[in-house]
Amino acid sequence: MPDPVVPPTPPVLLTSLLAREDLSLRRIAGPKDAGTVVHWVHTSEMADPYPYLLGGELLLTAGVHIPEAAGSGTYFDDYVSRIVAAGGAALGFGVAPVHDTVPRALVAACETHGLPLLEVPPQTTFSGVARAVWQLMSQSRLAELRRVTEAQQSLTSAASRPDPVPSVLRQLAQRLGGWAVLYGPEGTEIAGAGRRPGDEVREALAGLAEVVRPDRPTPPAGAASQTGSTPRAHAARAQANEPEAAPSRSAHGPASPAGRQPPTDPGRPSPTSATDTVAGTHLAAYALGAGHGFVLGVATPQRAPGDHTVVSVAAVLLSLLTGEQQSGTGAARSSALVRLLLGAPPEEVASLLGGERWVVVRARPDGEGAPDAVAASALGAALGSALVDPAGDVVRVLVPADRAPAPLPGWTLGVSAAVAPHDWPAADTQAARALARARATRTPLLRHAPRPALADLVPPGEAAAHARTLLAPVTAHPALTETLRTWLSLHGSWDRTAVALSVHRNTVRQRITRCATLLETDLEDPDTRMELWFALRHI
């Protein structure tokens, strides 16, 4: 039987489809398994539908392909066996206009091969069945998204409590209906919440946590049965994208078939997550991103859609919390902020925050909508800084200069030059302009790169005085000044300037025309553009 290719939509329980009164479907053969699911609907009148099935389908047919003498031979047995071999979930037979009833031989074949057989009445169209399946899928997806959103909000709220780590674990265990545990760098249980499982499950989960812990020591010989060799091999194979059959387990512990030992290559990186099943309990372990060896483990009686997303949100929050717990940067950061509020100059507290020179990163998500607190925290963790300020649709992050930001999927970044603490405001301006150019040019990351120029040959005082005089007519209107600066930096492109400023291109044209009028100059003249650009560098 080929591996079924499952679409990225939640499956539909066959019992839910049978419960639809508008369809009037009736199960007339096959097992009455409440867990049977349908991934999609396919209609075929082929005598051998095997080549056209991917697995998980509710196959609909009106029996056009059935020969007259089919009942006396092996036709139906061959037909049903091929559907089962292709991974079909169920067969729906439409009575009328070809057949008045479902053939008895087909009913018998479905009973023999364990394939659910549904009778589709004449008033129910096949397209109506397909529409009902997609409606149920849509309802399931909406319920999943709602559940994930509510879980994200509750986990974020728990992280802000005075006891954030236990609160997050309690909320996670409640959302999953299982057990959540945080393992320390040495493998000990630091905190746990929820229904505590038996010794066998706890030992297997602790072994699974060793799989994802960075720089874990190689287990001693003979320790496979105690640390869980099957999950270790399973995770390593998953990381390397190697095919593997599902591991088998007995009620007494993990199976360790020959050839399934964990890799011993010390240079091979650890996977970030691993899963397994022990005694009917689903296990998962996640390495926390702080890099200090903390691991989040969960044990649940069943896996529901959205569970992985919910646990991932908890892992991000715990990564931030455990990172502060390990390094003490949380207390140092609070001390630095208090000193700033009480009047200390930035350069005196910079060392408490993690560096003497800094870059400001401005980030904007590629999709629509403003980033939430969890997304902003995850961005800060990826950039290596907890100094994050989500403001509207832009997130600002203050990053030590020795941690060079790299492009991040899903984000557009503008990065300032490395500056001393007293130049943080100027760096923020640089990052804002770099972000605007990055969005306009569709570049994932753009850095502000100061370099010597001809304008630097003029004494700064004289250059600033000349700039104030030249640009006086427009500097009273900040929107005009910023539009002119952006338009010149993008070589007079109306469309790119509109993207960078998040305004309509006609607004850009109007502002540039207004600038030309106030300055009484021709902005098409390259010499004029050059002089204005030099002047804009000094205001």
What percent of the chain shows pLDDT beyond 70?
83
- Reported as half-sphere exposure (CB side, CA atoms, 13 A), residue 264 has a value of 8
Residue type, 188: T
pLDDT at position 123 is 93
- Residue 43 burial (CB count, 10 A): 17
The pLDDT of residue 345 is above 70: yes
What's the residue count for the chain? 539
pLDDT at position 490 is 85
Q: Output the pTM of the full model.
A: 0.45
The pLDDT of residue 257 is above 90: no
**Which helix (H) or strand (E) element contains residue 491?**
none
Q: How far is CA 162 from CA 157, 159, 318, 321, 444, in A?
A: 11, 8, 14, 12, 37
Residue 399 · residue 448 · CB < 8 Å? no
Instruction: Encode pLDDT of 306-319 as tens digits.
Output: 888 888 888 888 88
Q: What is the mean pLDDT of residues 106-124?
A: 95
463: phi > 0 → left, psi -120 to 50 → alpha, else beta; which?
A: alpha
Residues facing 396 on adjacent strands: 362, 389
Q: How far is CA 16 from CA 12, 87, 137, in A?
A: 7, 20, 11
Q: What is the mean pLDDT of residues 248-262?
A: 35
pLDDT at position 78 is 94
Q: What is the mean pLDDT of residues 72-94?
A: 93
Q: Tell me what the pLDDT averaged over the chain comes to.
A: 80
Rounded to 5 degrees, φ, ψ at 266 are -70, -20
Concatenated DSSP letters for 17-49? Answer: HHT-TTTT-EEEES---TT-EE-EEEE---S--
The mean-pLDDT minimum among 92-96, 267-271, 466-470 falls in 267-271
Q: What is the mean pLDDT of residues 138-143?
A: 84
What is the C-alpha separation between 441 and 444, in angstroms, rounded? 9
What is the C-alpha separation between 343 and 135, in angstroms, rounded? 60
pLDDT at position 323 is 65
pLDDT grade, residue 291 (50/70/90)? low
pLDDT grade, residue 343 (50/70/90)? confident
**Which helix (H) or strand (E) element contains residue 266?**
none
The stretches of 443-493 forming alpha helices (DSSP H) are 460-475, 478-489
Handedness of CA 144, 149, 154, 159 (dihedral sign): positive
pLDDT at position 89 is 94
Q: What is the mean pLDDT of residues 103-126?
A: 94
- Structure-model confidence comparison of residues 278 and 329, the more confident one: 278
pLDDT at position 34 is 79
Residue 231 · residue 203 · CB < 8 Å? no
The pLDDT of residue 238 is above 70: no
Q: What is the mean pLDDT of residues 215-224?
A: 39
The strands making up 388-391's β-sheet, listed across from edge to edge, are 388-391, 394-400, 358-365, 411-415, 445-447
Instruction: Encode pLDDT of 150-185 as tens digits.
Output: 888 888 888 877 668 888 899 999 888 999 998 877
Q: Strand 411-415 vs strand 445-447: parallel, antiparallel, or unpaired? A: parallel
